[in-house]
């Protein structure tokens, strides 16, 4: 009886000891394509924007939300200087127009975000609610027009 108990605990120790266990096939660093600078900027926008949308959905928009919107706007302003990955796939002759259109769409967004900040600081929640929807529509069409198709799956 004693021996069985000893063997059992030995077996358990062997199973649970990390060094003894058969090697888990550990994937060496996830084989993901490196993030573009624009993706990094968009991800920062997304983090703040999700909170804004959540507040809008839950009826919790307030003057304090303006700070989150400012984060989105500041990053959108930085994005104007960056180049969408899709641009490289365009014929060289079309790239300048593509970049100009991309910048115009971002400026449309930053204009709406500035209005949204003003509405929030004035505690004009009905106006702010509409502007959140407007900004969302501009983002959606920006992704439709300037994002590579395989990158369109992200949910915002």
* Binding region for ligand HEM (CB under 6 A): 35-36, 38-39, 42-43, 45-46, 49, 72, 84-86, 102, 105-106, 109, 135, 138-139, 142-143, 146-147, 151, 154, 156
Q: How far is the CB of 108 from ligand HEM (least distance, A)?
A: 7
Q: Which is nearer to ligand HEM, 4 or 53 (CB)?
A: 53
Nearest to 79 by CA among 33, 34, 46, 30: 46
How many Cβ atoms from other residues are within 10 Å of residue 116's Cβ? 26
Burial of 109 (0-12, 13-18, 19+ CB in 10 A): buried
User: For residues 1 and 63, what is the distance between their CA atoms, to the nearest angstrom?
Assistant: 71
Please give the structure tokens belonging to residue 20: 């003894």
- When the beta carbons of 13 and 96 are compared against ligand HEM, the nearer one is 96
Residues with Cβ within 8 Å of residue 66, at least 6 apart in sequence: 116, 117, 120, 121
Nearer to ligand HEM, 4 or 30 (CB): 30
Q: How far is the CB of 26 from ligand HEM (least distance, A)?
A: 24
Least gap, CB of 75 to ligand HEM (angstroms): 9
Closer to ligand HEM by CB, 24 or 61: give it. 61
Q: DSSP state, 23?
A: P
Q: How far is the CB of 128 from ligand HEM (least distance, A)?
A: 14
């Amino acid at each position: 009886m004693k021996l069985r108990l000893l063997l059992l605990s030995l077996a358990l120790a062997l199973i649970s000891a990390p060094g003894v266990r058969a090697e888990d096939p550990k994937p060496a660093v996830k084989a993901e394509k490196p993030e573009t600078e624009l993706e990094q900027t968009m991800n920062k926008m997304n983090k703040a924007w999700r909170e804004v949308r959540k507040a809008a959905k839950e009826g919790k928009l307030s003057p304090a939300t303006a700070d989150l919107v400012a984060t989105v706007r500041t990053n959108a302003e930085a994005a104007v200087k960056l180049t969408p990955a899709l641009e490289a796939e365009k014929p060289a002759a079309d790239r300048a127009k593509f970049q100009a259109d991309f910048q115009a769409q971002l400026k449309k967004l930053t204009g709406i975000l500035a209005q949204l900040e003003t509405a929030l600081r004035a505690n004009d929640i009905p106006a702010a609610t509409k502007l959140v929807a407007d900004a969302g529509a501009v983002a959606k069409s920006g992704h439709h027009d300037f994002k590579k198709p395989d990158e369109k799956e992200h949910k915002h």
